[in-house]
Chain A
Amino acid sequence: MKKIQILGTGCQKCTKLADLTRQAADELGIEYELEKVTKISDIMKFGVMVTPALVVDGQVKVAGGLPNVERIKEMIK
Chain B
Amino acid sequence: MKTKVLKWILLPAAGAVIWWLIYSNLSAFAGWFTYSLLKLEQGRHFSSSVEFFVFETPKVLMLLVIVVFVIGIIRSFFTPEKTRAILSSKTEAVGNVLAALLGIVTPFCSCSAVPLFIGFVTAGVPLGVTFSFLISAPMINEIALVLLFGMFGWKVAALYVGVGLLIAIVAGWILGRLHMEKYIEPWVFQTQVAQTDVQQTMSRQDRVNCGLTAVRDIVSKVWIYVILGIAVGAGIHGYVPQDFLASFMGKSAWWSVPAAVLLGVPMYSNAAGIIPIVKALLEKGAALGTVLAFMMAVIGLSLPEAIILRNILKPRLVFTFFGIVAAGIIIIGYLFNMVL
Contact = CB atoms under 8 A, between A and B. Distances in A.
A52 to B, nearest CB: 9
A30 interface: no
B107 A41 contact: no
A51 B117 CA distance: 13
Contacts of A48: 115, 196, 198
A13 B213 CA distance: 14
A46 B112 contact: no
Given A44-B119, A64-B80, A51 B200 contact: no
Instruction: Give the bracket for the number of chain B residues in contact with chain A.
Output: 20 to 34
A49 B191 contact: no
Given A9-B114, A49-B119, A50-B80, A41 B195 contact: no
Contacts of A41: 187, 191-192
B193 A44 contact: yes
A62 B111 contact: no
Given A60-B198, A64-B80, A64-B107, A49 B115 contact: yes
User: Which 6 pairs between the two chains have the least Cβ-Cβ distance?
Assistant: A47-B194, A49-B119, A47-B196, A11-B111, A50-B112, A49-B80
A56 interface: no
B305 interface: no
Given A40-B115, A61-B198, 20 more contacts: A9-B111, A11-B111, A13-B109, A40-B118, A44-B115, A44-B118, A44-B122, A44-B191, A45-B193, A46-B196, A48-B115, A49-B80, A49-B118, A49-B119, A50-B107, A62-B198, A62-B200, A64-B107, A64-B112, A66-B213
A31 B81 CA distance: 32
Interface of B: 79-81, 84, 107-109, 111-112, 114-116, 118-120, 122, 187, 191-198, 200, 213, 311
B194 A45 contact: yes
Contacts, number: 71
20 contacts: A11-B111, A40-B115, A43-B115, A44-B191, A44-B192, A45-B193, A46-B196, A47-B119, A47-B195, A48-B115, A49-B80, A49-B84, A49-B112, A49-B115, A49-B120, A51-B115, A63-B198, A64-B107, A64-B112, A66-B213
Contacts of A64: 79-80, 107-109, 112
Nearest to B110: A11
Nearest to A11: B111
Interface centre among A13, A47, A49 (most CB of B within 10 A): A49
Contacts of A65: 107
Contacts of B193: 44-45, 47
Contacts of A47: 119, 193-197
Contacts of B116: 49-50
Contacts of B111: 9, 11, 13, 51
A59 to B, nearest CB: 8
Contact of A49 (B81, B187, B192, B213): B81
Contacts of B109: 11, 13, 50, 64
Nearest to A64: B107
Which of the listed residues A40, A45, A47, A62 has the most CB atoms from chain B within 10 Å of its own CB?
A: A47
